[in-house]
Amino acid sequence: MLFTADHDEPRRALQKFIAAEINPHVDEWEKADIFPAHELFKKLGDLGFLGLNKPVEFGGQGLDYSYALMMAEELGAITCGGVPMAIGVQTDMATPALARFGSDEVRREFLAPAIAGDQVACIGVSEPGAGSDVASIKTNARSDGDDYVINGGKMWITNGTQADWICLLANTSDGQVHRNKSLICVPMKTKGVQVARKLDKLGMRSSDTAQIFFDNVRVPKRNRIGEEGQGFTYQMIQFQEERLWGAAACLKAHEFIINETIEYTRNRKAFGGSILDNQVVHFKLAEMQTEVELLRSLIYRAAEALVAGEDVTRLATMAKLKAGRLGRELTDACLQYWGGMGFTNETPVSRAYRDSRLTSIGGGADEVMLMVLCKMMGTLPGLKKGNA
């Protein structure tokens, strides 16, 4: 069993925090196109939620991944997608590799304040010319004595305008593309780091997303996470937690929209009865609820495997793929039942429609997820089964 009675207390505490400290402010943050990350993260850090499965010696709780997944699932109750995504970057995208492979020195400098909520982190992988194709990134970190000198640019950086440091993937040699990259912690106030612009997005409005340039940015080599040249491997491992976390965060969000749509269609009258009385409506909502439960089972199975130390690439990839596609289908169907009101920005279904679209793009597009699965199945041309 993934969850036990030990999960109940932190779950209730997080539910209470979301109800009191986040959801009352979501509409305001959505209109402002940003939320106060430092203020909110500090509160979460004080409650221990930014390091549930991180090492105790750096301020974490030292628990297993099931607690991180529990948190992801509960954050789905936030009435927008941007805030939970930003929190997830802090806990399960920018810091897993640092926690697992970083030296004690670099973990004290960057991981400990991230867990405490004293600093905001972001992850720098995607570039204007390389998103899901991680091997093709161009940002480079040239060796110069005890330092790296970094040049290049990153795109689609969640938390980018508020972050104190970035977990940056850069080329540290001219070797083979899967063996020439390193993850480096770069303070955002370092000379030469420029936040060029905050991007204007379709959805996830309350989460700031930046384009960042690096012009001869000098950082000490001690800021590198783990071994030089292992960054691609570390990031692929990190991606599995990110993808599983992102899928889990969809569960309550999907259920919320189903329940909101049930209430709206029950009360909305047309042609002598409620919209919900139409078989096409209540049958579709039943199908969508069934799909959510199937997704939950897949996510829980993957999380149990991760806790057991197994490779979850296949299951996490499937979960991420399914979460994105289900989100698109579910929000589109529900929006249709809201009629004209669904096309306004005054309803939760329109926000969910906009926010959920990113799940099939960010963290690896659907097509990349399918390629990963096909590699593992041995169905890609020129590959034998298992040669992923």
Residues marked as catalytic? 242
Q: How many residues does the chain have?
A: 388
The residue among 102, 103, 73 whose CA lies nearest residue 88 is 73
Q: Name 166's Cβ contacts closer than 8 Å, sequence gap at least 6.
A: 94, 121, 122, 123, 124, 154, 157, 160, 185, 186, 188, 212
Longest dimension (CA), the chain: 79
List of residues 6+ apart from 294 with CB closer than 8 A: 322
> Quick one: which H or E segment has residue 186?
strand 181-187
Q: Write out the H or E segment, with its range, that includes residue 150.
A: strand 147-158
Of 58, 54, 50, 205, the residue nearest 121 (C-alpha)? 50
Q: How far apart are CA 377 and CA 386, in angstroms?
A: 7
| Number of Cβ within a 10 Å radius of residue 325 | 16
Quote the CA–CA distance of 118 and 111 in Å, as a whole number: 10
The Cα 284–Cα 337 span in angstroms is: 10
Return the residue matching tokens 């199937």.
294
